[in-house]
Amino acid sequence: MADQTEESKALLRRITDEIWTGGRLELIDELVSDGFVDHVEMPGLESTGRGRYRASVELIREAFPDYREEIIWLVGEGDRAVSFVQGSGTHLGNFQGIEPTGRNAQWQAMGCLRFVDGQAVERWGVGDSIAMMQQLGVFG
């Protein structure tokens, strides 16, 4: 189980660093299962499976082209890994109906991925969208 735990943590780190921060969407086919199940609700994500995961990355990276995600801490157990991250970026594209503001925003999020045979098969997560919206000037 220790080897599986370390593999899960390494895969989550790779997805965070290379796909989310690095923008390497071509790696989604390698690292995310075609039958991916997403428990994260986000307006605008209508697809399922691997396509839904790709759409979530595209949605964030189109709104925040310089998006970065820094892992603050990462833990794992068996086939699951959980991270607490600091996301940041400059709002240069439409985001959930909000026209680009040009403002920088930072927010925190937690995510959990479950892996089978080297691919993410399931995701859970929550993010501080209120902090992001305040920084974008939507409210508060």
Q: Which CATH number covers residue 44?
A: 3.10.450.50
Total tally of structural domains belonging to the chain = 1
Comparing CA positions, the residue from 67, 93, 71, 66 lying closest to residue 82 is 71
Q: Which domain holds residue 111?
A: 2-135
pLDDT band at 140 (very low <50, low <70, confident <90, very high): low
Q: Tens digit of pLDDT for each residue in 28-76?
A: 999 999 999 999 988 777 788 999 999 999 999 999 999 999 999 999 9
Q: Does residue 88 form part of some domain?
A: yes
pLDDT top residue among 69 and 140: 69
Q: Does residue 140 form part of some domain?
A: no
Helix then strand count (H, E) for the chain reads 4, 5
Does the pTM exceed 0.85?
A: yes
